[in-house]
C-alpha cells in the first residue's frame, strides 16, 4: 500500500471538507424570536442576536411544523424560506403596502433527524437607512406525523388473517 499517497489524500480531503454550520436550535415545543441582516439582499446574518444564521429543528419523519416570518420595522422587506436547501412556498402572505409583510408556512413536512431552515432576504424596504434590518420568527410546536404501516407489517397481518380463516374452515369440516 502506498502510505504517502493515502496520507496526501486524507490531508487534501480534510482541507477541502465543508465545515459544519453553527445552527440555532429550535425547541420542538415551539419557539420565537428575531433575526436580522446588515448586508442587504441575501441570507440573514443573525438569529436572536447570535452569529447563527440557520435554524435547526430535530424531528421524526412525517412530523410537521408551522412557521411565521414577520417584517418588523420598515414596510417592504421580503423573505424566502428554505428547508435543507429547497425553497418552501408560503401558505399565505399578508401585508405589503400599508403594513409589514407576514409569511405563513403551514404544516411544513419534516424529515427524520435534523432539519435546517434558512431565511433569505429578497427585497428591502425602499427607504434610506433601511439597513440593518430586522424581523421576527416563530415555530409552532412540532405536530407528530401519522404512523403509516409498513408493507411487510401489512403482509404479515394478511397472512395471519388467512391462517385464521383456514383454521376455522378445518374446524367446520
Asked if 109 and 86 count as a contact pair (C-beta separation under 8 A), the reply is no
Q: Tens digit of pLDDT for each residue in 32-68?
A: 999 999 888 899 999 999 999 999 999 999 999 999 9
For residue 96 the three cell numbers come to: 405589503
Omega cis (within 30) before 164:
no
H or E element: which one contains 93? strand 92-94
Q: Tens digit of pLDDT for each residue in 152-169?
A: 766 777 777 777 777 877
Q: Supply the pTM of this predicted model.
A: 0.72
Angle at 128 between CA 126 and CA 133, to 5 degrees: 75
Residue 32: what are its φ and ψ, rounded to 5°? -155, 165
Angle at 93 between CA 87 and CA 96, to 5 degrees: 120
Q: Average pLDDT in the 95-116 region? A: 90
Greatest pairwise CA separation for the chain in angstroms? 91
Q: Which residues pair with 102 in a beta bridge?
A: 70, 94
Lowest mean pLDDT among 7-11, 81-85, 134-138: 7-11
Q: Which residues contact 40 (CB under 8 A, 6 or more apart)?
A: 121, 124, 131
DSSP label of 143: B
Amino acid at each position: 500500500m502506498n502510505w504517502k499517497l493515502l496520507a496526501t489524500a486524507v490531508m487534501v480531503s480534510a482541507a477541502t471538507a465543508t465545515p459544519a454550520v453553527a445552527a440555532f436550535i429550535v425547541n420542538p415545543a415551539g419557539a420565537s424570536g428575531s433575526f436580522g441582516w446588515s448586508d442587504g439582499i441575501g441570507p440573514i446574518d443573525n438569529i436572536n442576536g447570535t452569529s447563527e444564521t440557520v435554524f435547526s429543528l430535530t424531528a421524526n419523519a412525517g412530523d410537521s411544523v408551522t412557521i411565521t416570518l414577520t417584517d418588523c420595522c420598515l414596510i417592504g422587506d421580503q423573505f424566502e424560506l428554505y428547508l435543507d436547501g429547497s425553497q418552501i412556498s408560503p401558505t399565505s402572505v399578508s401585508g405589503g403596502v400599508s403594513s409589514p409583510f407576514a409569511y405563513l408556512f403551514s404544516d411544513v413536512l419534516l424529515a427524520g433527524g435534523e432539519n435546517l431552515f434558512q431565511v433569505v432576504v429578497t427585497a428591502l424596504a425602499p427607504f434610506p437607512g433601511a439597513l440593518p434590518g430586522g424581523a421576527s420568527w416563530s415555530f409552532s410546536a412540532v405536530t407528530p406525523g401519522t404512523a403509516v404501516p409498513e408493507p411487510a407489517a401489512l403482509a404479515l397481518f394478511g397472512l395471519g388473517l388467512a391462517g385464521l380463516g383456514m383454521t376455522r374452515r378445518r374446524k367446520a369440516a
